[in-house]
Amino acid sequence: MSEIKDLIEETRKQLLHLQLFGVEGIKLTDQIEIPTIKPATTKSIAIPLRVETPLPVSLPKKQPGVSTSGLFGNVGPAPETLAASTETFELIHEEIGDCTRCPLHQQRTTVVHTEGNRKARLMFVGEAPGADEDIQARPFVGRAGQLLTKIIEAIGFKREEVLSGNVNRCRPPGNREPTTEEAALCKPFLLREIAVVQPEVIVVLGNTAIQNLLDTRVGVSKLRGTFQNYKGIKVMPTFHPAYLLRDPSKKRETWEDLKKVRAYLDSTAK
């Protein structure tokens, strides 16, 4: 008898629990009589138990921007966003100084910092400076940089209206790709600049820059043309201008990518 009472009480608690989460149609109304075993003349005990059927389930109405998948809705972590920074480029560049943090400093001429409008809506990020950039201490000034300028102008911006820089600030010998270790030492400074500017879109150029900025091993051919996400900022992967000089057939795909960037910025213009 004690076990039966415990079972009934546990059942009641479960039904009440369901009611708390929106399950309707539960009524603890009728009674079930459970006879006692000893003595035979003892009156029966009436305990509310019966659940009427069917049990219609009423789920929460879907709210705009809120998933109601499952009884409890979307309980996953909120998307990570980039916190605003109060730093300045000057402070960041002063901290970089005459950098000797990685072996790239041994053969470089100058440190090449991010350049352009520090309130830009649009930013371009490459992998590292080339020979011309190393001499002039400015990003994207060689042949590839001149092509990038034409691309920027083709989507309705002036070069000085956007921001441009690289994951690494020192030229690798022979224009080789920066190693993972070299990129890991330099990338935090770029991320701090991005936090200062908070651009709406970042166009990331070429495999190395894409993989370092987005922490992925997927290449540009698979990612290009579709907006990716960096802490709430739209990221459009596309081909590096230096690659376009080697393979002009990719210019059309790059143009399609940049048209999507232009369309997005037009849609968010104030």
CB atoms within 10 A of CB 149: 18
Q: What percent of the chain has pLDDT over 70?
A: 75
Whether the Cβ atoms of residue 155 and residue 258 lie closer than 8 Å to each other: yes
- Averaged pLDDT for residues 33-48: 50
Whether the Cβ atoms of residue 58 and residue 22 lie closer than 8 Å to each other: yes
Strand extents, DSSP E, the chain: 31-34, 45-48, 115-116, 122-126, 163-166, 201-205, 228-230, 233-238
**pLDDT for position 8:** 78
- Which single residue is written with the structure tokens 């820059």? 209
**pLDDT for position 200:** 97
How many residues are there in the chain?
270
Dihedral-angle region of residue 15 (phi above 0 means left; psi in -120 to 50 means alpha; beta otherwise): alpha
Tell me which H or E stretch contains 232: none
User: What pTM did the predictor assign?
Assistant: 0.72
Q: How confident is the model at residue 58 (pLDDT cuts 50, 70, 90)?
A: very low
**pLDDT for position 78:** 55
CA angle 78, 83, 89 (to 5 degrees): 155
78 vs 200, residue with greater confidence: 200
Question: Where do the domains of the chain lie, and which CATH numbers do they carry?
Answer: 2-48 (no CATH), 89-268 (3.40.470.10)
Q: How confident is the model at residue 50 (pLDDT cuts 50, 70, 90)?
A: low
Tell me which H or E stretch contains 100: none
92-120 pLDDT per residue, tens: 999 999 999 999 999 999 999 999 999 99
225-253 pLDDT per residue, tens: 999 999 999 999 999 999 999 999 999 99
Q: How confident is the model at residue 36 (pLDDT cuts 50, 70, 90)?
A: low
- Averaged pLDDT for residues 47-66: 47
**Average pLDDT of the chain?**
84
Chain-centre distance for alpha carbon 87: 22
Half-sphere exposure of 187 (CA within 13 A, CB side): 17
CA distance 98 to 253: 39
Whether the Cβ atoms of residue 233 and residue 201 lie closer than 8 Å to each other: yes
**pLDDT for position 23:** 54
- pLDDT at 62 exceeding the cut of 80: no
Comparing 22-26, 59-63, 196-200, 238-242, the range with the smallest average pLDDT is 59-63
Q: How confident is the model at residue 71 (pLDDT cuts 50, 70, 90)?
A: very low
Tell me the angle at which helices 180-197 and 89-96 cross, rounded to the nearest 10 degrees: 160
**pLDDT for position 176:** 95
Whether the Cβ atoms of residue 238 and residue 262 lie closer than 8 Å to each other: no
Torsion sign, CA atoms 10, 12, 15, 20: negative
